[in-house]
Structure 1
Amino acid sequence: MATPEFILALREKIGTTPLWLPGVTAVVMRDDGEHGTEVLLVKRLDTGEWSPVCGIVDPGEEPSDAAVREVLEEADVHAVVEHLAWVHVTDMYTYDNGDRTQYVDTVFRLRWVSGTPFPADGENTDARWFPRDALPAMSADMGRRVAIGLDERAEARFGPAEPGT
Structure 2
Amino acid sequence: MATPDFVLALREKIGTASLWLSGVTAVVLRGEDVLLVKRTDSGEWTPVTGIIDPGEEPAVAAEREVLEEADIVAVAESLSWVRVIPPVRYPNGDVSQYLDLVFRCRYVSGEPFPADGENTEAAWFPLDGLPAMSEDMRARIRVAVEGAVRTRFER
The TM-score with structure 1 as length reference comes to 0.93
1:6-58 CA-partner distances (Å, limit 9, x unpaired): 00000011000000100000000002xxxxx1000000000000000000000
3-state secondary structure, aligned to 2:114: coil
Q: Would you say the 8 A contact 2:80–2:147 is kept in 1?
A: no
Q: RMSD of the TM alignment (CA)?
A: 0.7
Which residue pairs with 2:69 in the alignment? 74
Counterpart residue type for residue 16 of structure 2 = T
TM-superposed CA distance for 1:127, in Å, is 0.2
The TM-score with structure 2 as length reference comes to 0.98
Runs of 4+, deviation exceeding 6 Å: none
3-state secondary structure, aligned to 1:54: strand
C-alpha separation in 2, matches of 1:46 and 1:22: 20
Which residue pairs with 1:16 in the alignment? 16
3-state secondary structure, aligned to 1:28: strand
1:86-119 CA-partner distances (Å, limit 9, x unpaired): 0000010000000000000000000000000010
C-alpha separation in 2, matches of 1:61 and 1:100: 23
Aligned residues: 155
C-alpha separation in 2, matches of 1:73 and 1:56: 12
3-state secondary structure, aligned to 1:80: strand
C-alpha separation in 2, matches of 1:152 and 1:15: 40
Percent identity of equivalent pairs: 64
TM-superposed CA distance for 1:152, in Å, is 2.7
Q: Which sections of structure 1, spanning at least 5 residues, go unmatched?
A: 32-36, 161-165
